[in-house]
Amino acid sequence: MTRAALASILAVVGLTGMTLPARAQLPPGARSAPVADVRYELTVDSAAAAARQIGVTMTFRVRDSAPVLLALPAWSPGHYVLLWFASRVTGFAAEQDGAPLAWGKADHQTWRVVPRGPGEVRVTFQYLANTIDRATAWTQPSFAFFLGTNLFLYPVGRGFLWPATVTVRTEPGWRVTTGMMPGADPGTFTATNYHDLVDMPFFVGRFDLDSVSVADRWFRLAWWPAGSLTPARRDRTFEWLRKIVPQEVAVFQEAPFRNYTIFLVSDTVVNGGGLEHQSGQMDEVGSNQLDGQLSGLYAHELFHAWNVKRLRPADLVPYRYDDIQPTKWLWVSEGVTDYYGGLAQVRGGVMDSAGFFNAMAGAALSVFSEPPTALSDASLSSWIGSADGSSGLYYPKGALAGFLLDVMIRDASDGRHSLDDVMRGLYRTTYKRGRGFTPDEWWTAVARAAGKPLAPFREFARRFVDGREPLPFDSVLPLAGLRMDVDTVGEPRLGITTEVDSGEALITSESAPGAAAEAGLRVGDRIVSLGGVPLVDETSFDAFRARWANTAEPSFPAVVRRGGAVLTIQVPVRLFFRLRVDVTADASAPAKAARIRHDLLTGTVER
Ligand SMILES: [Zn+2]
């Protein structure tokens, strides 16, 4: 059923009170009167932050009294869900020469303002900024994060290629950090078009800022709360950037941004994850993740500076902001980005080859754990989040498809070409010419890099991208001297939670039907060893599970300390089965395959 059909059915049955999707109320082709000299003034001071609001004023010139239609985006590019930023607007008002203007809603996300005649019009509203999300404005008592898609109204039907300035009114001593071009006056910024205008995150308030020069560019790191990145955490981040950035620049052979900013928010309650922008990334992480391996997040979002922010499927060029913009190609935009995020880390020395193989094995495990899903179908489902869990599969499965194509190209070209040639070639022939790539262009570029006819790659697309056949790991991975082993492993579980300290594990809780409870182990017992494996730290449990995996024994001994006594108690074996995937280097691979594996891990091609 199409949306138009739904609308007519609702009209027939008289459900007039319902909200219809998308543009149902705005006539097709509706167009605002032209506006010029667009300026936005934002009030982000301590009163606004405390009220969890951002004050927005938009001023522009009009030629006459023709109605102006102003809309706020329904989504933010990169975050493929509808957020309807207009829903957070309160206190909307419009005036000309100090006197109020007539206005009304033209549809759920569009305001219709009627000027009295030629001159300057001023529109004001408050934007509610009380929800943390990497694409949505959020304030704290002395801090605000926002993105242009949240706040900047655009005239409907007038394209997006018009310049604008932004002025931020804030407190003395508060910082303003954004990727926007600084204007002539302090606190003022400029953009030459709306796409750039809304792709620049802002931090305003009290937060920390530092920078490092890598690959001839300044990389800024802005983090809130101030102090959350200790000097050691900051240094570690800069060290990752020194290793990752050159590897990603090498793929495209240019860094297409003036500077680059990592905006980092950490808190106890966050959604988690990052959102890419053309010259930065907005990352939200849990406070307890700040010592974790964030290099993967940074590498992924940075690779987007080329892949999707610049090189992207034709379906996404240009961006529209009023409604969903579906594409079947998120497996390239997101999955291949994930693959290169891993490559940048292994090539730069942030992770070793085993870490990279584990990442690919983990991706395969994610794919095997969900129903067979076509990459193109998963891409389309991102907008609605399918209940069967398949809609995010374009990340891991897309990474694996990119991995296999890379190996196939390297093998077919005898190591002279790689997926890098595809990415760099399309970047030059499509993005640099102001457009997106078509499916034909993608597969032609793959075939050309491989030096092969198009037909086998069309077949790959038919079976593994648009179809649901399992990816051909067994035939492709050996070309790079790799093997994938998929197994079901039964591991003994005890049904307890523990705290490990001083070389023992204190039982803190038990689930009633668990093996430990059945054997008579009690909360408060301190486990000294399990099945002959001494419990020295958390990894001891992994060693225990590995030692007793798939065992046929009916029970194993647990040595526990209870009060002053040391007891040995037989615990019944209760196996829980899970899928296990391993990707490993084959030590006896032929010379060519070993060379391709080496080239892939080091970013080398044979010349
Ligand atoms: Zn991404």
d(CA 69, CA 433): 31
Ligand 1 centroid–CA 335 distance in Å is: 8
Q: Could you tell me the pLDDT band of residue 133, with boundaries at 50, 70 and 90?
A: confident
Tokens of 27: 């006539």
**Axis-axis angle for helices 396-412, 439-450 (nearest 10):** 40
Which residues contact residue 87 at a Cβ distance below 8 angstroms, ignoring those fewer than 6 apart? none
Report the length, in residues, of the chain.
607
Ligand 1 centroid–CA 341 distance in Å is: 10
Ligand 1 centroid–CA 397 distance in Å is: 14
pLDDT digits (tens, 9 = 90+) for 106-117: 999 999 999 999
Torsion angle, alpha carbons of 264, 268, 271, 276, to 10: 10
pLDDT digits (tens, 9 = 90+) for 375-399: 999 999 999 988 877 779 999 999 9
Please state, as a whole number, how many other Cβ atoms lie within 10 Å of the Cβ of residue 38: 21
Contact in structure between 239 and 198 (CB atoms under 8 Å)? no
d(CA 401, CA 407): 10
Please state, as a whole number, how many other Cβ atoms lie within 10 Å of the Cβ of residue 316: 19
Ligand 1 centroid–CA 489 distance in Å is: 32
Q: What is the DSSP string of 148-173?
A: HHHH--EETTS-S---EEEEEE--TT
pLDDT digits (tens, 9 = 90+) for 141-179: 999 999 999 999 999 999 999 999 999 999 999 999 999
pLDDT at position 558 over 70: yes
Ligand 1 centroid–CA 200 distance in Å is: 16
| 257 class by beta-carbon count within 10 Å (0-12 exposed, 13-18 middle, 19+ buried) | buried
Ligand 1 centroid–CA 367 distance in Å is: 17
Q: Which amino acid makes up residue 208?
A: D
Which residues contact residue 334 at a Cβ distance below 8 angstroms, ignoring those fewer than 6 apart? 308, 394, 395, 398
- Report the pLDDT averaged over residues 537-553: 92
pLDDT at position 260 over 50: yes
Adjacent-strand bridge partners of 313: 437
Ligand 1 centroid–CA 15 distance in Å is: 39
